[in-house]
Structure formats: structure tokens, C-alpha cells
Chains A and B, each alone.
Chain A
Amino acid sequence: MNAVSAQSGRRSLLLIFWALMALLALTTGLAYVPMGGYEVIPAYLIAVVKAALVVLFFMEVKAASRLTWVFVGAGFVWLAMLMLLTVGDYLTRGWTPSAEELTQHNAPRMAAPAPEEH
């Protein structure tokens, strides 16, 4: 715990801070570049990197016990389960063909037995 290690510790924290600011500038700049609907991917990727920097260095998880890693991970893994299965529902709702589509698609086959019902 001498002055040298104190100094280097402070310097690395400052370094992380400037990295975070650079990423903030980057994500703000990218928000003005149209990417045809895929803007969301770099935006969230940068957010994940920023969050990872904060977790690993500011929150000192990089040097923490394995148990801490497990619980940090658990929060995000469980969030991913909630997110993926819920949003999965919304993204796949449109996949099921509607009744009209089915009727049109099967029109030739359905047309034949129809008169028999009378």
C-alpha cells in the first residue's frame, strides 16, 4: 500500500473514465449515421462495453472472487431469459399464417370438396 501503487491505481481509474467518455462520444456520433434499421446493434454493443468497463474496473469485479462473478452473471443471465422468451413471443406472433392466407394457399385443394357440403 505505498504511494506508487496508489498513484498507478488512480491513473488506471482515470484511463477507464476517458475510455468511457470516448465510447459515449462514439455512440452519440453513430446515432447520426443511418444504418437501415440496424442502428440498435452498435448502440447496445457500445452500452454493453461501457457497462462491462464499469463493472470490471470501477466495481472491481475483475479482481473479485469467483462467487461475485457468478452473481454478477446471474443477474444478466436471468434478465436474458426474461427478455428472450418474452420478446420471442412478439417476434414470432406474425409467423403463423392467418386464416385468409391459409384459405388462399390451399385454394385449389379446398375448392374441390366445397360443393359437396351442400
Chain B
Amino acid sequence: MRVKNTAIEWETGLAQQFDDLPQQHEAATLGMWVFLATEILMFGGLFTAFTAYRATYPHAFEVGSEHLYRWIGVGNTAVLLLSSLFVALAVHAIKHGDNRACTRDLVVAAALGVVFLGLKSIEYTLDIREGLLPWYHFHPEGANDAATKLFLVFYWFMTGLHAVHVTIGIVLLLFFAALCRRGEYDTEWHNPIEMVGLYWHFVDIVWIFLLPTLYLIKPG
């Protein structure tokens, strides 16, 4: 993030604790990856709990998965992959000094994030109507035991936490798109664009794993 120095602005974007831009870039990249490692372990706790219960109740988890809207899950994967492409294109554009293309691509990626959340909201609404919300009028169709409910608890928790990340990501994408439009970044200085890109790709990767974990359990 761009730092306004209280003392002297040595170089565009250079914070005063660093010697030069390459050092700052190295620090920012490493910091972002350490943060993403943290995020991996945070989602990892949920995936581990899920897997432990799936190993214990394989059948009930298949039944639970059947309640979900597989095609919304698959469609949303495509939407997120596409938005990831646009973020990658944005980073590529700013590296070649194309502010306009970078701004445009970031906005498109954010818009696709909104599409993702829209599809997810439709899915959530349908889920609630079918009584799949474990703590509110829980009455799914067919035979369901306690373990099926457990599956749905994790479905809501994991997709919910992911949706929170998507929302934060959309805000960040739009914020940096606005800065990019103002001409804050160029071929030399574009750390923040790269960092927000890394975050957005990470959110995409979480969904790549949520798809087989939640939606593709039951064959057929």
C-alpha cells in the first residue's frame, strides 16, 4: 500500500523503512504469501473437520450433498475462474504500463465477483426454502439423520466464510481499480495491484477445492 511519508517522499510509493523499491516489493510479496499461508490453515481447519466427519459418515454426507444445486456450484466455479483470468490480465496490463486496461480488467473481475455472490444468494434462498438451514426450520426432504445435518452445517460455514472473503475481495478490487484510474500505478510501481491479485486468486483456489468437497460427492 502506498505510504505517504511524514518526512521526505524519496521515491513514488517507497515507505521510509525500506531502502529501495525492489526491497519493498520483495517484502510485500513475501508478506502476502505468508498471509495466504495463514489463510490456507484457516480454511484448512474447516476442511480437516469436514474430512474427519466424512470419513465417519460417508453415506450421510452423500445424502447431504444431493440436496445441493450442483449446477450453481459448477457455474459459480466458471464465474470465479473467469474473474481470476481478468485479475491476471489486469496485473499483466499494468506491468506493461496500460492503466486503462488494468482498471477495466479489475472492474470486470469485481463485477464477476458480484455475479458469483448473486448466484450464491439465489442458491442460499432456494436452500432455505427447502429447509436446509440447520438452525432455522430445518426440514429437508427424504431420510436425513444427524450426520446429514452436520454436512449442511459445514456447507453453510465453509461457503459462508468463502463468501465473506469474496465480498472483501470485491471491495479491494474496486478500491484499487479507482486508484489505478487516477494514475497511481505504472510499470515501476504496482505492488498493490499484484497483492490484491494474489488475494483474489487465493479466494478462487478455495472455491476450486470447495466444489469437489461439497458438490461432487455423490456419483450421478
A and B touching (C-beta < 8 Å)?
A: yes
Residues of A within 8 A of B (CB): 1, 6, 9-10, 13-14, 16-17, 20-21, 24, 27-28, 31-35, 37, 39-40, 43-44, 46-47, 50-51, 54-55, 57-60, 64-65, 67-68, 71-72, 74-76, 78-79, 82-83, 86-87, 89-91
Please encode chain B, from 185 to 205, with 1 for each CB lying within 8 Å of some chain A CB and 0 for all others: 001000000000110011011
In chain A, what residue has the closest Cβ to B73?
A: A28
Q: How far is the CA of A83 from the CA of B47 in the complex (A)?
A: 8
Q: What is the minimal beta-carbon distance from A57 to any residue of chain B, in angstroms? A: 8
- B63 beta carbon closer than 8 Å to chain A: no
The answer on a CB contact under 8 Å between A86 and B52 is: yes
Partner pick for B205 among A17, A54, A67, A79, CB 8 A cutoff: A54
Return chain B residues, CB-CB under 8 Å to A78.
37, 40-41, 44
Q: How far is the CA of A112 from the CA of B12 in the complex (A)?
A: 90
Return chain A residues, CB-CB under 8 Å to B204.
54, 58
Selected A-B contacts with CB under 8 Å, 25 pairs: A1-B187, A6-B92, A10-B89, A13-B88, A17-B84, A17-B85, A24-B74, A27-B216, A31-B70, A31-B219, A32-B219, A32-B220, A50-B208, A54-B84, A55-B205, A58-B87, A71-B37, A72-B33, A75-B36, A78-B40, A79-B40, A79-B44, A79-B48, A82-B48, A86-B48
Q: What is the minimal beta-carbon distance from B70 to any residue of chain A, in angstroms? A: 7
Q: What is the minimal beta-carbon distance from B210 to any residue of chain A, in angstroms? A: 9
Please encode chain B, from 202 to 220, with 1 for each CB lying within 8 Å of some chain A CB and 0 for all others: 1011001101100111111
The answer on a CB contact under 8 Å between A59 and B219 is: no
